[in-house]
Structure 1
Amino acid sequence: MRSQVTRKMPFTEEQMQKIYNTNIIDFAREHGFEVEKGDKATLHVKNSGGLYLFKHGRGFYCFTEEKGGNIVEFAMKYLNMEKLEAMELILGSKAYEQTTHVVAPQEKPERGELQLPPRDQNDRRVFAYLTKTRKIDPEIVQDMMKQGRVYQSRQEINGKIRVNCAFIGYDEKEVPRYCALRGPSADSSFRQDMENSDKTYGFTMTGRSQRVYEFEAPIDAMSHATLCKMQGIDWRKDYRVSEGCLSSRALRHFLEHHPEIKEIVLCYDNDVDGKLADGTPHNHGQVRAEEEKRNFEAQGYRVYIQTPTQKDFNKMLTSLYDRPAVYVEEEADEMER
């Protein structure tokens, strides 16, 4: 008869609580990660691509891989550790002592209805920001505003008036399902998705061809259209979809409803200064582009990667105004395929 052996647990119940109650933001900072502003619920890990830490300190989400987890999974993935080793590190860290407020885990509520921010009396400030600061062609901005895909929002928050640039994504019934806000000035770092926004429905510039371009941000999509127009290319011909992050969720949804599309052009950022958690150089945008190219080619699409010569297509556009004409012509030629 086989004797029953009781396996000793490596941690007590109290130690387990300490591990999982450790503030992930404090822990990340302690181990060399730099964080910066994200949105109202998260902080962005600098030079990480799409890695965000929840402000309540209880987990992370990576838009690059479209998955998240708790602090133990964070240490395992981004510090390259086995589970037991990660738990020992967290338990022995000073981060737990720094935790001042812990929010109990809650079930993810069902997404409610998106409420768009009120539209301002006019769009002058946003129009000036997009055309003067971002150098986007006025016709393109006007067209997006006429379609209700871009407008100047005006909200009163805590007694203060907030004016922002709103980018809207619609579903197949032209119901708004996604809204991204951005501060309309060159020195503003404000970016936020409205509550109940669904990134499945990205900001889209409609077309009539069998080609779609995919971008990380609406401003890059409009910048790309501007660069095409500058070279005499019909910017209305092809579709453009913006994800609002480093993902392909909106593109995949778009393709489900546009069976006529045969060709995909991936236009992710050129993150030449990007790094992994251990400091290894990593071009997040272009690595993701190569991955998605393989994925969509396997589905039968013709797939190309168009890499901006600057970090993104808006920086590529604005840089043309500060460079000699010969360089402008050379870079503009890259828009031809």
Structure 2
Amino acid sequence: MSQRKNGTLFYTKEELDRAIENSSALEYALSRYQLKRAGNRYTMPEHDSMVFTPDGKWFWNSHGVYGNALDFMQIYEGKSYVEAVLTLAGTLHSPPMQAQETLPPVTPTPPAPTQEPVPFVLPEMDKSQKYVFAYLHKTRGISPQLIRPLLKDRHIMQVRQFVGMRICGYAGSEQDNAALYIPSRPDMEEAVRPYLQERQIVSRDVLHPLPEKKTVLCVTGEEASQLAQQGILQEKHRLAMLGYDTEGNAQYCSIRSMNSIGKGFKMDMPGSNKQWPFLLPGSIEAKGVVIVESPIEAMSYRDLCTMTGSPYKKYPILALGGANVSVGLESFLANHPEISEIRLGLNRDDDGKHKEKAGERATEHLKQTYGDRYQISVHVPAENDWNDVLKKLRGIQPPELQQQRNIPMPQR
């Protein structure tokens, strides 16, 4: 355990790496609390809205908070970020802390049988990118000067998905239309069973061959599209926003629908690693980083800085993937020792849709966590979020009026 002369704790990069490897909220909670199993999920008996899932996530629905073990330990157990990291790294040994709400003594239950983690697979790139361009520019107000290089470098792209099907890999290159899909629901498995064929997965991202090929019963993307034309499947065109590791490999992908009317669709691709979230690169000489919640807010903030001539237009902008997710920031800082300033631009959350101001709470948490090591500045949007600010500045009309304009709108 690392401790300064004044008694304050700190952690090394190796300890952070171990903590991230051990950041499953389910595994941590099973070792300390008596959880109740419900299907493939677990709940806290004292708080039935608190859910732990096999992918290591934790949700406290009644409080609107979620995350991994690091977030659980800080929000529920009251640990500091440093204490949480050192505990998961195995270098800080302490008895279970009493949570912020009084709990009876608990007896740990043995962990459930481990399940093979779902591998991260890059979604299938659509043949056309026109819907993405129209959505981001005409509906969201993002400038073409920003959209084009992001499309070129594959920070964003239009992808196709099929309802009830999951992409499991590729049998060749993109030019071969080699995406492979398997059913993700029992009803869909029944519907497509006559069309499934054995094929070999050779890659998860069309770039890096797998060490060992895997044979699966599946349909190709083109076959799935034909089944959609027959009414057996539903084909959707969506926006994908990607995060890359230091070697340039995609590790994270956030998917959202591109409809401006009706209920939207959002998801992270299974296996996504929020240690590598969406990042807008900055200039080499930049000594700071801007933190926002979502990729669209990152693009909006960059455009706003460019429009106003702000010096922050040169800063990299990191989208955490939610107000309560800090693992991406910690990873970024560990890999960029030149950073000395953190500019927090999390959402205002006063649009009437949010019971709790998660952005405000997360801002205070990040100030406390990093204030002794970095210069912290806070920039709260005048509207609910930075995209609302950009749309207002550009005079973007409300969605119901936009629908009357001749904008190509894909299925969500």
Aligned in 2, Cα 1:255/1:65: closer, same or farther, shift over 3 Å?
A: same
Q: For 1:195-235, what per-residue CA distance to the aligned partner results, in whole angstroms no more than 9, with x for missing partners?
A: 11100001011112111101111011001111112213467
Is the CA contact (8 Å cut-off) linking 1:273 and 1:282 kept in structure 2? no
Counterparts of 1:50-199 in structure 2 under 5 Å? 50-51=65-66, 65=72, 80-83=101-104, 105-107=112-114, 109-110=116-117, 112=119, 114-158=120-164, 159-186=233-260, 187-199=262-274
Give the whole-Å Cα distance in 2 for the aligned partners of 1:142 and 1:320.
Answer: 21
Aligned in 2, Cα 1:19/1:288: closer, same or farther, shift over 3 Å?
A: closer
1:206 has 2:281 as partner: yes
Deviation at 1:298, TM superposition (A): 1.8
TM-score normalised by structure 1 residue count = 0.66
The residue identity in structure 1 corresponding to 2:376 is V
Instruction: Specify the alignment match of 1:92 in structure 2.
Output: none
Counterpart selection for 2:361 from 263, 287, 295? 287
Aligned in 2, Cα 1:178/1:223: closer, same or farther, shift over 3 Å?
A: same
Counterparts of 1:31-46 in structure 2 under 5 Å? none
Deviation at 1:290, TM superposition (A): 1.3
Deviation at 1:105, TM superposition (A): 3.8
Aligned in 2, Cα 1:45/1:311: closer, same or farther, shift over 3 Å?
A: farther
The residue identity in structure 2 corresponding to 1:231 is T
Residue range with higher mean Cα deviation, 115-124 or 263-272? 263-272
Aligned in 2, Cα 1:262/1:68: closer, same or farther, shift over 3 Å?
A: closer
Aligned in 2, Cα 1:19/1:217: closer, same or farther, shift over 3 Å?
A: closer
Instruction: Specify the alignment match of 1:252 in structure 2.
Output: 330
Number of equivalences: 264
Instruction: Specify the alignment match of 2:189 in structure 1.
Output: none
The residue identity in structure 2 corresponding to 1:178 is Y
Aligned in 2, Cα 1:128/1:43: closer, same or farther, shift over 3 Å?
A: farther
1:311 has 2:389 as partner: no
SS in 2 for 1:304: strand
Q: For 1:68-127, what per-residue CA distance to the aligned partner results, in whole angstroms no more than 9, with x for missing partners?
A: 99xxxxxx969x44227x99xxxxxxxxxxxxxxxx944254563x21111111211011
Deviation at 1:272, TM superposition (A): 3.3
Aligned-residue sequence identity (percent) comes to 27
SS in 1 for 2:332: helix
SS in 2 for 1:83: coil
Q: For 1:258-298, what per-residue CA distance to the aligned partner results, in whole angstroms no more than 9, with x for missing partners?
A: 1111111011111237899xxxx742211211121121122
List alignment gaps of at least 5 residues for structure 1.
Answer: 1-17, 53-60, 70-75, 88-103, 324-337
Q: What root-mean-square deviation, in Å, do the aligned CA atoms of Structure 1 and Structure 2 show?
A: 3.9
Is the CA contact (8 Å cut-off) linking 2:135 and 2:258 kept in structure 1? yes
Higher share of residues assigned strand: 2
Deviation at 1:189, TM superposition (A): 2.0
List alignment gaps of at least 5 residues for structure 2.
Answer: 1-33, 77-97, 165-232, 397-412
SS in 2 for 1:221: helix
Is the CA contact (8 Å cut-off) linking 1:33 and 1:46 kept in structure 2? yes
Instruction: Specify the alignment match of 1:238 in structure 2.
Output: 315
